[in-house]
A and B are shown apart, each in its own frame.
Chain A
Amino acid sequence: MSAPSVHKAAAIRLTGIDKRFGAVHANRAIDLSVAPGSIHGLLGENGAGKSTLMKILFGMIHADEGRVEIDGTPVAFRSSAEALSAGIGMVQQHFSLIPAFSVVENLIMGRARGSVLSRLTRKLDLKAAAERAQELSDRFGFGIDPLAKVATLSVGARQKVEILKALWGGARTLVLDEPTAALSPPEADELYAVLHRLRSEGTTIVLISHKMPEIMHLCDRVTVLRDGAVVGEAELAGQALDEPAVRQPIEAALVNMMIGRDKPELPERAPLEGPVILDIRGLTDGTRLGPIDLKVHGGEIVAVVGVEGNGQSELVELLMGLRKARDGMIGIDNHNVVDWPTQRRLDAGLAHISEDRHATGVADTMSLIDNASIGFVDGAPFSGSPLSLSQKQRRIFTEVLIEQHKVRTPSPDLPMASLSGGNQQKLVVGRELARAPRLMIAAQPTRGLDIGSTVAVQDALLRLRAEGNAVLLLSLDLNEVFAIADRLVVLRKGRIVGTMQSADFDIDQIGRWMSGAVEHVATKPEETDPQTLEAAS
Chain B
Amino acid sequence: MSANSLDLLSSVGSSKSTRTLLRVIILCFIAAAAVASRLFSVIRFESIIHEFDPWFNFRATKYLVANGFYSFWDWFDDRTWHPLGRVTGGTLYPGLMVTSGVIYHALRALTIPVDIRNICVLLAPAFSGLTAYATYLLTNEMTTSSSAGLLAAAFMGITPGYISRSVAGSYDNEAIAIFLLVFTFFLWIKALKQGSMLWGALCALFYGYMVASWGGYAFITCLLPLHALVLVCMGRYSTRLYVAYTTWYALGTLASMQIPFVGFLPVKTSEHMPALGIFGFLQLLAFLDYVRSAIPSRQFQTFLWIAAGGTFGIGLLGLVLATSAGFIAPWGGRFYSLWDTGYAKIHIPIIASVSEHQPTAWPAFFFDLNMLIWLFPAGVYLCFQQLADEHVFIVVYALFGSYFAGVMVRLMLTLTPVVCVAAAIAASTLLDTYLKAESPKAEDHQADDTAAEGAPKKASKGLKSTNKPAVGIYTFLSKGLVTSAMTVYLLLFVMHCTWVTSNAYSSPSVVLASRMPDGSQHIIDDYREAYQWLRQNTVEDAKIMAWWDYGYQIGGMADRPTLVDNNTWNNTHIATVGKAMSSREEVSYPIMRQHEVDYVLVVFGGLLGYSGDDINKFLWMVRIAEGIWPDEVKERDFFTPRGEYRVDSEATETMKNSLMYKMSYYNYNALFPPGQAQDRVRGARLPEVGPTLNTLEEAFTSENWIIRIYKVKDLDNLGRDHASAAAFERGHKKKKATKKRGPRVLRLD
* A and B are partners in one complex rather than unrelated chains: no
B→A interface (CB under 8 Å): none
Chain A interface residues (CB < 8 Å from chain B): none
